[in-house]
Amino acid sequence: EYFLKEKEVRDDNHIPSNDPILFLEIIVSDASEFVDVIKVKGVQVGDYRILRAESAAVPNAIAALLLYIRDQTGKIPHAYFGWVEGNPIQYLLRFILFGEGDIAVVTREVLRRAEKNYKMRPGIHVGG
C-alpha cells in the first residue's frame, strides 16, 4: 500500500528518490468532540514513516500540522493529494456549511486564511 502510493506520488510530482517522504494518516473522530489540540503519533511500517492523528476536521488538522512542521523546522512542507473530480466551489461551500468537502481544496483554503504570506504557506499539490 505505502510502496504503491510513494511510487505514484514520486512519479506524478517528479520527487527525487533521495527526498524523504512522510505519510500522514488522519482518523476522522466524532464531530461533537472537536478539540483544539491534535495528538500526533509517529510510527514506522517497514521502511515507511507515518504520522497518525485523529481529528473531527481533516483539512484543519492537515493545515495545522503543516504549519507546525514549518514553524519547527524553518522549512516549508509540501503535501501531495490525489484529485477528486468535481467543482471546487461546491467543495468549499460544503466545507463552510457542513464541515465537509474535498480535503486538498479545503486544506489549501484553510492555509490561505491562516498564512497570508504565500511565500511562507505550505505547498498543496494535487495530481493523478
Domain segments of the chain as ranges: 2-127
Residues facing 105 on adjacent strands: none
Residues facing 23 on adjacent strands: 50
Lowest-confidence range among 39-43, 73-77, 103-107?
103-107
pLDDT at 93 over 80: no
User: What local confidence, expressed as pLDDT, does residue 100 receive?
Assistant: 56
pTM: 0.81
For range 30-38, the mean pLDDT: 77
Inter-residue contact 67 to 121 (CB < 8 Å):
no
- Among 25, 19, 106, 6, which Cα is nearest to 63's? 106
Question: Average pLDDT, whole number, for the chain?
Answer: 87
For range 102-110, the mean pLDDT: 90
